Amino acid sequence: MADQEIYRASTYAPVNIAVIKYWGKRDTKLNLPTNSSLSVTLSQDDLRTHTTASCSPAFPADTLTLNGSPQDISGARTQACLRELRHLRQSVEEQDPNTPKLSTMKLNITSGNNFPTAAGLASSAAGFAALVRAIADLYHLPATPTELSRIARQGSGSACRSLFGGYVAWQQGTHPDGSDSLAYEVAPASHWPDMRAVILVASAEKKDVSSTAGMQQTVATSALFQHRAENVVPQRIKAMEAAVHGRDFAAFAQLTTRDSNNFHACCADTDPPIFYMNDTSRAAVRMCEAINSSAGEVVCAYTFDAGPNAVVYYLAEHEDVVAGTFKALLGGLSGWEGKRGGAVKTAES
């Protein structure tokens, strides 16, 4: 082992929070969604996964460690990512016979999150994005973020959006092979640099119903969901792109809160019903409504993923009235973990 070389690359990937939600797969093997989605990438100074990928002729097996615990990587999703990346590396090696045959070596991957894993804070998104980019860097692949998004999507759908900073869309695509189900940049973070988010952690527990299981139960049973995917989301994606391009916070906020509520209504319409929001989440909704009402304009927008934690978007000029109000209340508001709530920036592009 001592005289055998170890090749290594490290990277960070940020969390993204959807403002037009992905929920539902038309192909569970390839993670192809029933509708397009759009997200805001958070600053990796705040919530992120750090991943180091290594390979060596001395390694006996592929391994993955997350936050110090060994993970099972035999699942089809992780294997699909590793297979695709090795395949691209083989092309590099075929073009340059002198380059080391990294594709034949076993991989050791170590990963760490600086936030609760699987608590509805998009840990799988940052996790698979970091895994794919760390291995792509290790292999010196000449792949664009959009090309890597096709691979990360197979690990976890929302991961494809974490390969970009700023405002990112994942187009559902139409090809059965998933070749056009990719993420693209709607606008870099620098386009709307005063966008902020505060994350209110109602619970850092692992969620009851996994997204993967929950969304397929919704697809199978909810008539409301079918309406959402076919009639609601396509217009909202266009309207959200226009709101971002025009830096129209009122339009951004209305689309964000309505889409969150529509997504959770579809969860409630699932048989058996799925409830990700709780009483604490609903208190945050009322608080946002109260802040907007007393400001006399829309200054904040809430959204909830597959868990009870709130993400509240606002502009820097309203830091005091939005983040200040929540921070002042966190300690006194039953159910919130005040110490973990904090304002985070949206990502630099």
* Nearer to ligand 2P0 (CB atom), residue 94 or residue 208: 208
Count of residues that bind ligand 2P0 according to CB under 6 A: 14
Q: Which of these segments, 16-24, 50-58, 144-152, 174-182, binds ligand 2P0 (CB under 6 A)?
A: 16-24
DSSP 45-82: TTSEEEEEEEEETT--S-EEEETTEEE---SHHHHHHH
**Residues shown for the chain:** 349
Among 10, 90, 212, 226, binds ligand 2P0 (CB under 6 A): 212
CB 168 within 8 A of CB 252: no
313 binds ligand 2P0 (CB under 6 A): no
Give Cα 229 to chain centroid, integer Å.
Answer: 19
24 binds ligand 2P0 (CB under 6 A): no
Q: What is the closest distance, in whole angstroms, from the C-beta atom of residue 311 to ligand 2P0 in the complex?
A: 11
173 binds ligand 2P0 (CB under 6 A): no
Among 46, 84, 185, 305, binds ligand 2P0 (CB under 6 A): 305
CB 194 within 8 A of CB 247: no
84 binds ligand 2P0 (CB under 6 A): no
Residues in CB range of 163: below 8 A, 6 or more apart: 13, 129, 132, 133, 145, 146, 148, 149, 152, 183
34 binds ligand 2P0 (CB under 6 A): no
Amino acid at site 239: A
φ, ψ at 337 (rounded to 5°) = -95, 90
φ, ψ at 343 (rounded to 5°) = -80, 140
37 binds ligand 2P0 (CB under 6 A): yes
18 binds ligand 2P0 (CB under 6 A): yes
Q: Which of these segments, 1-9, 20-28, 63-71, 172-180, binds ligand 2P0 (CB under 6 A)?
A: 20-28
Pairing of strands 106-113, 63-66: parallel
Q: Which of these segments, 15-23, 88-96, 195-203, 231-239, binds ligand 2P0 (CB under 6 A)?
A: 15-23
158 binds ligand 2P0 (CB under 6 A): yes
* Nearer to ligand 2P0 (CB atom), residue 22 or residue 336: 22
Residue (of 188, 61, 77) closest to 131 by Cα position: 77
Among 116, 127, 145, 157, binds ligand 2P0 (CB under 6 A): 157
Binding to ligand 2P0 (CB under 6 A): which residues in 123-152?
A: 124
Plot region of 149 (φ>0 → left; ψ -120 to 50 → alpha; else → beta): alpha
CB 123 within 8 A of CB 116: yes
36 binds ligand 2P0 (CB under 6 A): no
DSSP 210-223: -HHHHHHHHHHH-H
Among 22, 249, 302, 314, binds ligand 2P0 (CB under 6 A): 22
Cis bond upstream, residue 272 (ω within 30): yes
Q: Which residue is nearest to ligand 2P0 (CB)?
A: 157
Positive or negative torsion for Cα 33, 37, 42, 46: negative
281 binds ligand 2P0 (CB under 6 A): no
56 binds ligand 2P0 (CB under 6 A): no
DSSP 25-44: EEETTTTEESS-EEEEEBPT
Q: What is the closest distance, in whole angstroms, from the C-beta atom of residue 320 to ligand 2P0 in the complex?
A: 29
* Nearer to ligand 2P0 (CB atom), residue 244 or residue 291: 244
211 binds ligand 2P0 (CB under 6 A): yes
Contacts to ligand 2P0 by CB under 6 A? 18, 21-23, 31, 37, 124, 156-158, 211-212, 305-306
